Chains A and B, each alone.
Chain A
């Protein structure tokens, strides 16, 4: 039942809009696979990051919600740090056909501003958010820098770890786990 006319209209509208920090790109000919991006909101640990979201339009659209998932890794209580799955009511039972892909992406942006740790997707992140807000911010920021920014230059910490003889992948993973804390990352690498 997916209405191509409606998707087309939505895309035209999106292409006109340059202010909201939201873009959508068509990935398949039938317009059922899309890729959206949102920019990390200012004043959050996600600021400066660009997040890619895969969007899959179901047959029942717009009566059924679009399926969305973060492709870019992100440290957020309502988004899985492993799979990018999102826990957001309007993408589930609170979806309304009067909503659009754009409004859904804007809701995701809003979710980045105000996490809902009581309804978590990633328990580990949510626990950190509640118990150690400072460490949460640090980790989220590091993930933003590591995964959500154009990799024109590696962070100095990664370079130093690589110089110490660790592979680049392992260095990145260890730093991500340690929330950007270099000493902790080194300890992790040495003990593993």
Chain B
């Protein structure tokens, strides 16, 4: 058995060819996931983290990082740019903020017109080179000019102050320390925009350097700490390679190399899968744009849809109202024992491959359209089409939620199974893997209905291929979902493991197929006819 190795480490990247026969040790993550880098899995010390901060992640890989590591990464990036542009590191930080933390764009713009960029960023009057900045801090590398020796009248409080109590920004404008403190504390209260605070003088565009922040707010350290937090938040929010985990109360940060479409907040995180580009829940094969369109559409149509879609359905045979409380679509009516599919309400016996039936739940047959059909009929047909997709989208969404809930029960079942079989913890991991696979598939299937809804209706070939892929995945997801809900006594480990793998390969086929524009037939091998993963 190869599951022993799988643990929680995803090892998969898009360039990997999916070959079921080979690499038994390899466990494929949902294809949307990048490769969780080695660093991400192992625990790191603080020295290592500072080092990894600057290290580039390989394309297609990602890792979860801690806040302290984010700071190190920011520092490393600023230092890298500071050496190239021969400016101080805090200056580099400001310049990088200007281009949304893209060093490439900054290089391009800065080298084209350094003066313009510097003055636009408010650092044209800053002095101090890259040699001044230390590895641990960006806060003291900008020189501050002395206050006028004879003291001054502060232009904020209108009081006379001696030079020793005045603070001067690189532009030469001096104000008393107390007013500076009030000014910057007020900026902090305004929120994240405080990182763009300029000299208090009217129309002066010189940015307040970190060193001045530190001097002015030395009396209120918690405000100063907030300033630092805002700087780091800016780095996380705007750099393409970082993203907050969007799950509520998670707060972890994911760092990803190029070409990573979606990531999972794991290991060590909450396990939520999300899109690195738009921050929504992972949605392959549908694109970010389609997901947004769909969300808007659902919002507009939701009342109609909700009105039509009740929470319950009637058993097609005995008409008893049934509430679905488990993830699988294979329903057995508790009253009449009739078995049917929750999606299409058809007889379940037509759904299995054994009966020669065909699982048609994912297909929508548009009614024969006639040219003379009235507008209202067309509108009705459009609504029907939408509802067809929405129902299935919603169905998988609900099933996904059940599966997530089921995870907790699965943990308990794993303990139970371990005790009854006297096996090791690793021996029972397959239950969790199967459960997680169901979640991943449900999520992907959800998105396939968005993808399908917006798929060009005239592209018959593509649609056929897509629906074929979708159907396969749906069938296996249902099987797997049902299997994971079985009582432990009747559960066949080998079978669960096999189906998990086969399902995974279908998930991969579907996503890579959709990504390649559905032009090429994916892997000709059909794992259904040939369960190639040998069970030991």
Instruction: Compute how far the CA of A10 lies from the CA of B183 in the bound complex, rounded to whole angstroms.
Output: 19
The answer on a CB contact under 8 Å between A63 and B201 is no
The answer on a CB contact under 8 Å between A64 and B156 is no
The answer on a CB contact under 8 Å between A6 and B186 is no
The answer on a CB contact under 8 Å between A96 and B203 is yes
Judge if B158 is at the interface, Cβ distance under 8 Å: yes
The answer on a CB contact under 8 Å between A97 and B203 is no
Judge if B338 is at the interface, Cβ distance under 8 Å: no
* A96/B200 contact (C-beta < 8 A), A60-B186, A63-B183, A63-B186 known: yes
How many interface residues does A have (CB within 8 Å)?
16
Question: Closest residue to B156 on the A side, CB-wise?
Answer: A97
Judge if B15 is at the interface, Cβ distance under 8 Å: no
Within 8 A of A (CB), among B156-209: 156-159, 175, 179, 182-183, 186-187, 189, 200-204
Judge if A5 is at the interface, Cβ distance under 8 Å: yes
Instruction: Give chain B residues whose Cβ lies under 8 Å from the Cβ of A190.
Output: none
- Chain A nearest CB, measured from B228 CB (Å): 21
Instruction: Compute how far the CA of A58 lies from the CA of B110 in the bound complex, rounded to whole angstroms.
Output: 40
* Interface mask (B132-163 → A, CB under 8 Å = 1, otherwise 0): 00000000000000000000000111110000
Question: Closest residue to B198 on the A side, CB-wise?
Answer: A96
* Interface mask (A9-31 → B, CB under 8 Å = 1, otherwise 0): 11000000000000000000000
The answer on a CB contact under 8 Å between A97 and B179 is yes
Question: Closest residue to B157 on the A side, CB-wise?
Answer: A6
* Interface mask (B59-99 → A, CB under 8 Å = 1, otherwise 0): 00000000000000000000000000000000000000000
Question: Closest residue to B155 on the A side, CB-wise?
Answer: A98
Main SS class of interface, B: loop
Instruction: Give chain A residues whose Cβ lies under 8 Å from the Cβ of B158.
Output: 5-6, 9-10
Instruction: Compute how far the CA of A103 lies from the CA of B200 in the bound complex, rounded to whole angstroms.
Output: 15
Q: A-B contact count, CB below 8 Å?
A: 38
Instruction: Give chain B residues whose Cβ lies under 8 Å from the Cβ of A10.
Output: 158
Instruction: Compute how far the CA of A3 lies from the CA of B156 in the bound complex, rounded to whole angstroms.
Output: 10
Instruction: Compute how far the CA of A62 lies from the CA of B202 in the bound complex, rounded to whole angstroms.
Output: 12
Q: Which of A60, A64, A97 has the most C-beta atoms of chain B within 10 angstroms of its own C-beta?
A: A97
Instruction: Compute how far the CA of A83 lies from the CA of B200 in the bound complex, rounded to whole angstroms.
Output: 31
Instruction: Give chain A residues whose Cβ lies under 8 Å from the Cβ of B204.
Output: 96
Instruction: Compute how far the CA of A164 lies from the CA of B274 in the bound complex, rounded to whole angstroms.
Output: 73
Q: Which of A3, A6, A63, A99 has the most C-beta atoms of chain B within 10 angstroms of its own C-beta?
A: A63
Instruction: Give chain A residues whose Cβ lies under 8 Å from the Cβ of B203.
Output: 96
Instruction: Compute how far the CA of A10 lies from the CA of B182 in the bound complex, rounded to whole angstroms.
Output: 19
Which residue of A5, A64, A99 is within 8 Å of B202 (Cβ)? A99
Judge if A1 is at the interface, Cβ distance under 8 Å: yes
Instruction: Compute how far the CA of A96 lies from the CA of B205 in the bound complex, rounded to whole angstroms.
Output: 11
Instruction: Give chain A residues whose Cβ lies under 8 Å from the Cβ of B183.
Output: 63, 97
- Chain B nearest CB, measured from A17 CB (Å): 15
Instruction: Give chain A residues whose Cβ lies under 8 Å from the Cβ of B157.
Output: 3, 5-6
Q: Which of B155, B187, B202 has the most C-beta atoms of chain A within 10 angstroms of its own C-beta?
A: B202
Instruction: Compute how far the CA of A103 lies from the CA of B203 in the bound complex, rounded to whole angstroms.
Output: 13
Within 8 A of B (CB), among A92-147: 96-99, 103
- Chain A nearest CB, measured from B401 CB (Å): 43
Question: Closest residue to A63 on the B side, CB-wise?
Answer: B186
The answer on a CB contact under 8 Å between B186 and A64 is yes
Within 8 A of B (CB), among A69-100: 90, 96-99
Instruction: Compute how far the CA of A98 lies from the CA of B186 in the bound complex, rounded to whole angstroms.
Output: 14
- Chain A nearest CB, measured from B69 CB (Å): 34
Instruction: Give chain B residues whose Cβ lies under 8 Å from the Cβ of A1.
Output: 182, 186
The answer on a CB contact under 8 Å between B202 and A63 is no
* A96/B201 contact (C-beta < 8 A), A6-B158, A9-B158, A62-B156 known: yes
Within 8 A of B (CB), among A2-61: 3, 5-6, 9-10, 60
Contacts beyond the supplied A96-B201, A96-B204, A97-B155: 7 A-B pairs with Cβ under 8 Å: A1-B186, A5-B157, A5-B158, A60-B186, A96-B202, A98-B155, A98-B202
Top-10 shortest CB links A-B: A63-B186, A96-B202, A98-B155, A97-B156, A9-B158, A97-B200, A98-B202, A98-B201, A99-B202, A63-B183
Can you list 21 residue pairs at the A/B interface with Cβ under 8 Å?
A3-B157, A6-B158, A9-B158, A60-B186, A60-B189, A63-B182, A63-B187, A64-B186, A90-B202, A96-B200, A96-B202, A96-B203, A96-B204, A97-B155, A97-B156, A97-B179, A97-B200, A98-B155, A98-B156, A98-B201, A103-B202
